[in-house]
Amino acid sequence: MKLSLELKTTPDHFGVGLHLLKGAHTFGRAQCSSFNLRLYNFSGSGNPDPTLNTTYLAELQQLCPQAGNESVVTNLDPTTPDTFDGNYFSNLQTNEGLLRSDQELFSTTGADTIDIVNNFSSNQTAFFESFVVSMIRMGNISPLTGTDGEIRLNCRRVNDNSTGSNALLVSSI
């Protein structure tokens, strides 16, 4: 699972914080293009993602038809999109995580993140307190600067610097 690999390669002091920071998806929106494969062709199967709640799947398919406008947006948190709360974790328990990477926190058999999801779903105070600590830790991560680092235009991939432009390199912070 790619998510596990990415989490294990983060600084040790960051620990469970990365899982926790995904709780920020209690706010925000995503375009159909970000999750369409889950609705129609999960992992190249030609079928929807089997972990998606069937009622939620039908709602998403109506919003994002297979040959529809992929720029349409929907809330990351379908239950309380305008409230910072622990419902993001409850949504994962009912298989209503919009993004695959979110749902994998709960739906990956044997994942240590299942206990985290269960805890924060039932204990919003624990989520809030842990989220604050994780945000502070993230703020203390030293970015790579100069030619050793860059600000990505798309978080999913390294910038294409074939044009020779270094405009996005971080010079200092």
Distance CA 19, CA 102 (A): 9
Binding residues for Ca(2+): 26, 77, 80, 85
Fold of 2-141: Peroxidase; domain 2 (1.10.420)
pLDDT of 122 reads 94
Residues of the chain with CATH 1.10.420.10: 2-141
| SS3 assignment, position 137 | helix
Q: Please state, in angstroms and rounded to a whole number, the distance separating the CA atoms of residues 52 and 106.
A: 12
- Burial environment of residue 61 by CB neighbours within 10 A (0 to 12, 13 to 18, 19 or more): middle
pTM of the complete model? 0.74
User: Can you say which residues are annotated as belonging to the binding site for heme b?
Assistant: 25
Cβ-in-10-Å burial (0-12, 13-18, 19+) of 109 comes to exposed
As annotated, the binding site includes 25-26, 77, 80, 85
Say how far apart CA 9 and CA 131 lie, in whole Å: 20
Angstrom distance (rounded) from CA 96 to CA 56: 6
Cα(first)–Cα(last) distance of the chain, in Å? 33
Tens place of pLDDT per residue across the chain (173 aa): 233 323 333 444 445 566 677 777 888 999 999 999 999 999 999 999 999 999 999 999 999 999 999 999 999 999 999 998 889 999 999 999 999 999 998 998 998 889 989 999 999 999 888 888 888 888 888 877 777 777 778 777 888 865 555 544 444 44
Contact status, residue 58 vs residue 18, Cβ threshold 8 Å: no
CA–CA distance, 8 with 12 (Å, rounded to integer): 8
Rounded-to-integer distance, Cα 30 and Cα 37, Å? 13
Inter-helix orientation angle 100-107/113-122, to 10°: 100
